[in-house]
Structure 1
Amino acid sequence: MKQLKEFRKRYEGYVPMEYKVYLKKMKRSGEWGDHLTLQAAADRFGAKICLLTSFRDTCLIEIVPRDLTPTRELWLSFWCEVHYNSLYATDDLLTRKTKKKHWLF
Structure 2
Amino acid sequence: MQKDSLSFYGASLKSEDCSKSAKLYSDLFGGEVQVASPGHAELLFSDNQRVIFSKETEECPVTPGTLVWKIERAKVESFETQLLSAGFEKESGTEKYSSYLDTWKNRIWLYWY
Q: State the TM-score, normalized to the length of structure 2.
A: 0.28
Higher strand share: 2
Higher helix share: 1
Tell which has more relative contact order, 1 or 2 (C-alpha 8 A, sep 6+): 2
Which of these two proteins has the greater Rg computed from alpha carbons? Answer: 1
